Structure 1
């Protein structure tokens, strides 16, 4: 008996072909996890490199016969490059293949790391640290953007927890690993740069095999002039706040000139961005209330968090006499608090769809943590300090990544990269300013406390060993009574830094109160971008496999 067409319907109708992630814009949970592994490996490598080198710097400077100013620039060079390049990477993510950009960032960072480890002079090392910074800027912007493309805002919280955890773990693991490398005679400081290379190469391979994002074909107009002006202006201001008070006086001609150049370049950048067809930082982003408030909060968070937390290691080592390794371990309560709440808040946001409560609670905990740390001195019980650090970590974990989530949920899909990197950029900028300004405050406060301490035992600071420069640099040369005064001054003076950080964190608390909570979208960034492109273009664009 013959079979009719009615009896044998077309196979394509009976069993439609399932769309791929590139075509549908939606990835399964297993696909997301696999892709996330490669990106987190790259992030771990990048953030480790930022903290691992800090412990090795004295050894590096000694072996390469560098100067104190070069010591500063080995750190500053990477900071400048990563901060200035972050918004540029974000804009490129809106225009080009995100997967390719992540691979380029990993490659740049890896090559910079290898070359840095092979450096034979501090000048060459500084150049390669700039290259490392360019790759770092790309990774810290692109990974968050890629996650936003893969996962809807409603589901994104549970996937952002591991990102925050990686950042926290790297903060502690870096100094520990750096100390181990430096203390191992047969390794040498070069392995502080080489150690992350195998992990970076593995990340490159995993990303190639697991990350599949669509690329929407659209006219590309790169704003080269805007990019150059933003990078140059930001670099000038960062040089000003980083070196001011050290390499030149704040009120000097050099200080005014560097600051003036930075402001002038950024003013020109605003003019160019307002007229550019595809600006690096679209000014229309700042018409959105959530973006503006989240940006202000990010500046405050960066200033408080980086500016305050960076002095913890100094407090533990100078005021309390702990080793670098022990100092890293003593920050574990803050790391644990951050890991718990970053993952927990993400899961709860996914479960209930409410996110503002975590911004408000996180900023409140951050204010409380810094305020409690503002009460410490050189004799405070270490259990109490650990408790205060845990409170601070709880706040950091709830606040940092959820500020980015709030912005990503409010902007157009085509601005996903620019908006995400803008928040990260201002947080990093706030952190840089915070480190410089709070460092200057600490130096002044410590100087006054040392003078008071010496006067109490009948010694004029000018008559002390080291004269007017008595302080941390002379600790090993000072008699025990004088060294105790210096250590106590650092222990008591650090509290001032934390009180200022608490005041700045309070700004973020006030700002997030005014952020309006809107329901989280259920479309992934890829789905939204595909829908936006199909709705606005005459010819239906095709997704190109990334």
Structure 2
């Protein structure tokens, strides 16, 4: 193996490259969340159901999650700049296909393809930053990246609401909007980005491991979507799906333990701080994606606000993440100690979930804003620091795999969170609607339309029942999120305290340097 030495970049070159990286990351994250408030309108226009509502988001998260470790591993083997450009191209094609979809099935498929590029962009940006900036200085820049992700994650629903409320644009522009941004970023990166290339003579990509991981997770998510609806919890379908998924995942672990270049390196995963960061990342991923997705639905269907107003009402969360990411990113660089900020973030995040767990269709907007602000502050405080604390503990040659592994599990947390919480919400909404329809003396025929989100097609009395059901059911999913938050607090507290290093690569310990010197001295001279 040989690698070209990392050419030092000037501050100006670094900032120019970072501008391109942040721009393309913004486009990717925006495309993931811009549908948050637009989805009720999109699914209504395409005559989709609540299950399909969830899968428009889950399909993107699932594919982006599945390919994250692959992109991470490829970044350890090939030119990082070329990989960024390839992921941009895939993202652009997926965005165009999604915008041209004629039904929900086509939309879900296009979003799944789009996720292949989005997964690459989300992890490659962090890897490139790790390759050009030492960990001690990286906290500040990671704070900026976190702020960009925050604005896109929480600001996306606001933009989506504006787009669907503007008649001359229409919902299809929710998917087209990322195209010009990504094109500008691609040109900027071509001109400014310079990163070292690492080449290996014998390159082996663990496609089998990636396929098994994706298959196992996908089967679990399909089960979560249909259980208690299409079949019972205790049924042969449950046994087949859950048993099959666990078997596939167990086989994936076996394959990963023997692969020459595993997509999820078990030695890295089993390190204390990496394992604990993964656990904490599950709750953060659930907050990032679940909050944006279901709050948009809550405000529109549960409270009756327009998409634009629904987006505006999520501003407290966006403000919390933006402020927290920026301030805590700088504090992390200044102190060099990320653990206290991770603990702080998980505690505040859990408190925000607890506040949101009591909401219903008549909850004060002041209380809602307080809960969203806390969630935003919590996400901003720990999201990037969880990646940073892992990057600090690995050598430069392992940077891609380590970053990809943590980001993979954070995205997996979001995927599972959206899928599981969406299934819980759908089942609870159905139960509440059935109960309220019966109490109002309406026949079962009135409830047949409740699987659709096109409220304009429902009678006025039924619309009120559906709105109340969605408003009352949303608090239940945040109660589940609060439970995940408690787990993330325990994981954060158990993290081993570290001080961020000032060098790009690990510095060998004195004993290792001495041993290396002795070996060189003992080596036969030509």
TM-score > 0.5, shorter chain as reference: yes
Contact 2:221–2:419 under 8 Å retained in 1: no
Contact 2:47–2:452 under 8 Å retained in 1: no
Aligned-pair CA distance for 1:466: 1.6
Q: Corresponding residue for 1:239?
A: 222
Q: Corresponding residue for 1:88?
A: 70
Aligned-pair CA distance for 1:194: 2.7
Q: Corresponding residue for 2:523?
A: none
Report the CA distance shift for 1:412/1:66 in structure 2 as closer, same or farther (over 3 A).
Answer: same
Q: Is 1:501 aligned to 2:481, yes or no?
A: yes
Q: Is 1:511 aligned to 2:491, yes or no?
A: yes
Q: How many residues align?
A: 511
Q: Corresponding residue for 1:10?
A: none
Given candidates 350, 371, 376, the residue that maps to 2:354 is: 371
Mean CA deviation greater in 33-42 or 445-454: 445-454
Contact 1:25–1:524 under 8 Å retained in 2: no
Aligned-pair CA distance for 1:36: 0.9
Contact 2:30–2:152 under 8 Å retained in 1: yes
Cα distance in structure 1, aligned partners of 2:43 and 2:464: 28
Q: Corresponding residue for 1:157?
A: 139
Given candidates 304, 307, 330, the residue that maps to 1:321 is: 304
Report the CA distance shift for 1:245/1:109 in structure 2 as closer, same or farther (over 3 A).
Answer: farther
What does 1:299-378 correspond to in 2, within 5 Å?
299-378=282-361
Deviations 1:304-340 (A, max 9, x none): 5534553212221222221111111111111111111
Aligned-pair CA distance for 1:433: 1.9
Report the CA distance shift for 1:382/1:513 in structure 2 as closer, same or farther (over 3 A).
Answer: same
Aligned-pair CA distance for 1:497: 2.0
Q: Corresponding residue for 1:12?
A: none
What does 1:210-229 correspond to in 2, within 5 Å?
210-219=192-201, 220-229=203-212
Give the superposed CA RMSD: 3.3
Aligned-pair CA distance for 1:493: 2.8
Q: Corresponding residue for 1:11?
A: none
Q: Corresponding residue for 2:371?
A: 388
Q: Secondary structure at the match of 1:310?
A: helix
Mean CA deviation greater in 388-397 or 72-81: 72-81
Contact 1:369–1:392 under 8 Å retained in 2: yes
Cα distance in structure 2, aligned partners of 1:224 and 1:471: 38
Cα distance in structure 1, aligned partners of 2:374 and 2:53: 33
Contact 1:308–1:497 under 8 Å retained in 2: no
Q: Is 1:463 aligned to 2:443, yes or no?
A: yes
Q: Is 1:261 aligned to 2:244, yes or no?
A: yes
Aligned-pair CA distance for 1:392: 1.6
Aligned-pair CA distance for 1:527: 9.7
Report the CA distance shift for 1:336/1:58 in structure 2 as closer, same or farther (over 3 A).
Answer: closer
Q: With structure 2 as the length reference, what TM-score do the two structures score?
A: 0.87
Q: Secondary structure at the match of 2:344?
A: helix
Report the CA distance shift for 1:123/1:448 in structure 2 as closer, same or farther (over 3 A).
Answer: closer
The structure with the larger Rg is 1
Aligned-pair CA distance for 1:101: 0.7
Cα distance in structure 1, aligned partners of 2:43 and 2:373: 34
Cα distance in structure 2, aligned partners of 1:124 and 1:446: 26
Q: Corresponding residue for 1:142?
A: 124
Given candidates 39, 48, 59, the residue that maps to 2:21 is: 39
Contact 1:24–1:527 under 8 Å retained in 2: no
Mind listing any 5+ residue stretches in structure 2 that lack a counterpart?
520-526
Q: Corresponding residue for 1:491?
A: 471
Deviations 1:485-516 (A, max 9, x none): 44334333322222221121011001110101
Q: Corresponding residue for 1:419?
A: 402
Cα distance in structure 2, aligned partners of 1:181 and 1:225: 41
What does 1:113-124 correspond to in 2, within 5 Å?
113-119=95-101, 124=106
Q: Secondary structure at the match of 1:334?
A: helix
Report the CA distance shift for 1:521/1:501 in structure 2 as closer, same or farther (over 3 A).
Answer: same
Contact 2:33–2:289 under 8 Å retained in 1: no
Mind listing any 5+ residue stretches in structure 1 that lack a counterpart?
1-20, 539-546
Deviations 1:233-272 (A, max 9, x none): 3333333334445565544444433333332222222112
Report the CA distance shift for 1:290/1:465 in structure 2 as closer, same or farther (over 3 A).
Answer: same
Mean CA deviation greater in 113-122 or 352-361: 113-122
